[in-house]
Structure 1
Amino acid sequence: MHPLSKRITHAAACLLSVAPSGVAFAQSGPSEPDHVLAATPETVHWGYFSPDLDPVLTIASGDVVRVETVTAVGFSKEDPEGAVERLGLEPVDAVADLIDILAEVENEGVHILTGPIRIEGAEVGDVLEIRVYDVAVRSPFYGVNISRTTGGALPDLVPDEGYERVFDIDVETGSIAFNESIELPLAPFMGIMGVAASERVSSVPPGRYGGNMDLKEIVAGTTLYLPVLIEGGMFSTGDGHAAQGDGEVNLTAVEAPLTLTAEFILHKDMEIGFPRVETPSHYISMGLDPDLNMAAELAVRESIDFLGAEFGLSTLDAYSLTSLGVDLEVSQIVDQTKGIHAMIPKSLFTDLEDDFWAAE
């Protein structure tokens, strides 16, 4: 049995079905979370992670938290009502929350993050496991995609005034109409999930702390592991994506306000250097660097370290297996620090007795 698959808690009764697209949707789980954290001016911070922020919620290991988020994409702090009219939105629920936040919270960057959440007993060197039970789109069920001349893979394609699209999200059919003949599958995930770094950092580049990883594999039914870098961990999340392609090449995804429901489990007996992910079908190691080639190299090294530590392979055997059976994929190329992730199929391991909590 793989060490990452041994941990069962009260909330592991959550059952999942897997749609043809491969997106997992939670069917059942805890009847109620232990905590609900709304997105309000008092519970968000804008544009950064910092060890100096006070927690807005303190939880115990094993607690399940429902976290509401908003997105400021398409809005300006100066004229939110104008954005509501331009985008054709109703000023209710997530949009009403956003308007309150824009009026009261200082803009210190790009992403509005809900948190931080302090985990009792978390110490430097621990590992925080985040079991993602559900990721849901918030009313009024919309998303925005923008391009700017300042970023993306091909900023020279974008006119000076930029590019903006607003989408209606059909939660009943699980789809997003791109136009009359093109439809995107709804596949919500949090673009940002992270703990506080040891110093203040922008929310744009990801790092050891997680953050803006934009890894579309972290949907409902998956687990994220993060190294704890300061006392309490101090977890925050935001930058909800209703759909995204690997690369996020035009700068943004379908940016949408989402609600994350997750269990937070503290581990004293694990050691990781970078974020890792587990899904019903894969282990995922990550490489993050401003240079995409270096990010790939780091992802390979993380894969080698994982295979050695968890399956007892020598360095050269792990290097060989990574070449023969592991796929490197591009997470994103637009967040200053670029991301490559190594997809390690569980099907490679014939003796694996996998009881991952969300196993298919």
Structure 2
Amino acid sequence: METIEYTPTFEQYAWTFGGVQPIMSVKPGTALRLWTEDAYSGRIRKAEDLPSVCVDMNHVNPQTGPFHVEGAEPGDTLVLHFVDLEPARDWGVSTTIPFFGGLTSTDKTATLQDPLPEMTWIYHLDRAKKSLTFEALRSEFRVDLPLEPMLGTVGVAPGGREVRSSLVPERFGGNMDSPEMRAGATCYLGVNVPGALFSIGDGHYRQGEGEACGTAVEGAMNVTVIVELVKGGAPAWPRIEHDDSLMAIGSSRPLEDAWRIAQVEMVRWLGELYSLDPMDGYQLLSQTAKAPLANVVDTNYSSVVKLAKDLLPVSSAYDGIHQHLRAAAATLH
């Protein structure tokens, strides 16, 4: 398997999905070892650094890419298998930002409430223990939390010449902020433009479901991903496969519409896997699905629907490409 290593300079980051020329072309079956910067572009490094002072809002959520995938055409399915996500620094950072987050007034939920305080927390990593430490700013409380690396942003270029901010999740993927996008996951995205033009970024060292305050433990990440392509079969919305589960992600506002999108996408997937009529799929989904939140803070909210494979008959999504890529990934270590 061909392996390509790539670390972008600041000038090479993408800040949108769509409207950006590819940084390189890769063949299906290629492994990429990539470096991604954190959502703050590396500008917050200590507790005294505040977003309003240190962060340029024109330079948030930098993306590594886009990559042109040879042979990818609209209607195809881009397959990204995440082999490894390794923190690139020994610390991560989280903040509260005025009028941003799930438990404050925002520009869209306007009240006469003053903004919550702007604060910064630094989480230090213990690589031996695979943990990071939360330290309260207003007391002596501290606790070690398991390291659970994930990517907040995985997406392709939208169709119709559309250009979307790297802060936005939509049917092209983007800033979904799902903890399910972790090592061992295979992500399926519908191709909208020739070459797919996919980008990744927004590494999180861990994140709770919903990303309540608006930021995870943000950190630079070393990412190993295998790129594959399935001709045809494009999903309408992003899908994820783990060894033990199938997932679909919907992104919209209000939150119940994001939930509905994900549920409908999973009904479609059950139809593809088992030739189920939509009404039968609807009934089966109603009795088996879990619905973890991804984010309730971004430009669009993202909701996940998740089905355990052991509840279903054995199937082979996309001709078993997840299992194939899991085996291929083992040869890279």
The TM tier, using the shorter chain, reads 0.7 to 0.9
Equivalent in 136, 149, 155 of residue 104 of structure 2: 155
1:265 aligns to 2:221 (yes or no)? no
Q: What is aligned with 1:232? A: 195
1:184 aligns to 2:145 (yes or no)? yes
Residues 37 and 107 of structure 1, relative CA distance in 2, 3 Å threshold: farther
Query: Does the Cα contact within 8 Å between 1:74 and 1:146 map onto a contact in 2?
Result: no
Residues 74 and 297 of structure 1, relative CA distance in 2, 3 Å threshold: same
Q: TM-score, normalised by structure 2?
A: 0.85
Equivalent in 260, 284, 290 of residue 253 of structure 2: 290
Q: What is aligned with 1:346? A: 309
Residues 307 and 160 of structure 1, relative CA distance in 2, 3 Å threshold: closer
Residue aligned with 2:10, SS: coil
Deviation at 1:158, TM superposition (A): 8.1
Measure, in 2, the Cα distance between the counterparts of 1:276 and 1:326: 15
Partner deviation per Cα, 1:28-63 (whole Å, 9 max, x = no partner) = xxxxx61111021343123x222x322112110110
Letter in 1 for 2:101: G
TM-align CA RMSD = 2.4
Query: Does the Cα contact within 8 Å between 1:39 and 1:70 map onto a contact in 2?
Result: no
Q: What is aligned with 1:243? A: 206
Deviation at 1:184, TM superposition (A): 1.3
Partner deviation per Cα, 1:131-170 (whole Å, 9 max, x = no partner) = 110001003x211111112211112598555121011111
Measure, in 1, the Cα distance between the counterparts of 2:310 and 2:226: 26
Q: What is aligned with 1:195? A: 156
1:73 aligns to 2:40 (yes or no)? yes
Question: Larger deviation: 151-160 or 267-276?
Answer: 151-160
1:253 aligns to 2:216 (yes or no)? yes
Letter in 2 for 1:44: Y
Deviation at 1:270, TM superposition (A): 2.0
Letter in 1 for 2:208: G
Residues 177 and 301 of structure 1, relative CA distance in 2, 3 Å threshold: same
Listed as ranges, the matches of 1:81-160 within 5 Å are 83-84=44-45, 108-139=58-89, 141-156=90-105, 159=115
Query: Does the Cα contact within 8 Å between 1:148 and 1:158 map onto a contact in 2?
Result: no
Deviation at 1:72, TM superposition (A): 4.7
Among the aligned pairs, what percent are the same residue?
Answer: 30
Measure, in 1, the Cα distance between the counterparts of 2:84 and 2:176: 18
1:61 aligns to 2:28 (yes or no)? yes
Residue aligned with 2:279, SS: helix
Deviation at 1:296, TM superposition (A): 1.2
Residues 299 and 310 of structure 1, relative CA distance in 2, 3 Å threshold: same
- Number of residues paired by the alignment? 304
Letter in 2 for 1:197: P
Unaligned runs of 5+ in 1: 1-9, 11-32, 89-98
Measure, in 2, the Cα distance between the counterparts of 1:328 and 1:86: 34
Q: TM-score, normalised by structure 1?
A: 0.78
Query: Does the Cα contact within 8 Å between 2:48 and 2:120 map onto a contact in 1?
Result: no
Measure, in 1, the Cα distance between the counterparts of 2:286 and 2:94: 35
Unaligned runs of 5+ in 2: 106-112, 136-140, 328-333
Query: Does the Cα contact within 8 Å between 2:102 and 2:213 map onto a contact in 1?
Result: yes
